[in-house]
Amino acid sequence: MPATAAPVVLVEGPVSDEQLEEIRRAAPAARCERVARQEIGDRIEEADIVAGHVGPAELARARHLRWVHTWSAGVDHSLFPELVASEVVMTCSKSNGAVPLAEHAMLLMLMLNRDAVRWIRAQDERRWAPFTHGELAGQTCGIIGLGYSGADLAIKAKAFHMRVLGMRRSQEPVPGVDELYTRERLHDFLRECDVVVITAPRTPETLGMLGDAELRVMKESAFLVTFSRGGIVDDEALLRALREGWIAGAGLDVHGQEPLPEGSPFWTAPHTIVTPHNGATTKATRQRAIDIFADNLRRFCDGEELRNVVDKAAGY
């Protein structure tokens, strides 16, 4: 991708002075300027590149825009029909949150397996209340989606002496995964798992992937953990599963509606841990996103292939 002379780069978001300098050092020929979200509309006509969010109204006014980079790994909130149909390239920050997301999944798995909420409640009440709890060793962890975070989780789960199953399109071996399943064998996969972790992107293909039929084939002793995007599990089906005991519980970092409304029944659903889409909110995650964009900007200016290019039609 040959770059234009002195491309104008608008960098949106909480970017520190040091991070902005890192971006500028990566491509000295580019004109990199930090902007607030509300400024993009005023500056979009001059921009060649935007690191941040571009909406339909802004895209309609763009004259030179060639590339949009999103600071998140997922792009479902950033894609819209006009952008998909355009020649504007989109890249994302996938891999930046893989490590903390996998850690968060392990945290939720441990808390659910050991019913850690009982200890928290007992501490709040200053009550000494030991009980017999579970352990992850020997359990089967099923991971739907084996991108960066899913692959990192597989290694972590293996370190806890778990059997690890994976589901993905490609059947290329993944370190730590004992057996791979295709989407066509989803029910067979679910029947095997003691905990199912969803790390897949939200796309038309994955939306509503787990509904009544899928949750009913899971073990009554199994847990569900979600931390990629809400909507892959049907919310109403999941509420029925939790209330009627089809599964043992859930750890939910992502939700069909975000922020989760105050009146949502998930706040009080049985054996459910809710976290506010917060699993990857670390300083290191943000820095890795900066590193990815800085490297891509250098590549752009040098006419090299970009990393993390999004298939806009596929949605990831």
Positions annotated as catalytic residues are: 229, 258, 277
3-state SS, residue 166? strand
Backbone angles phi, psi at 9, to 5 degrees: -120, 120
What's the CA gap between 28 and 36, in Å, rounded? Answer: 22
Rounded to the nearest 10°, the torsion over CA 272, 140, 221, 198 is 30
Looking up tokens 């730590």, which residue turns up? 176
Tokens matching residue 42: 């005023």
Neighbours of 148 (CB within 10 A): 18
Which DSSP string corresponds to 91-150? E--TTTTHHHHHHHHHHHHHHHHHTHHHHHHHHHTT---------STT-EEEEE--SHHH
92 and 69 Cβ atoms separated by less than 8 Å: yes
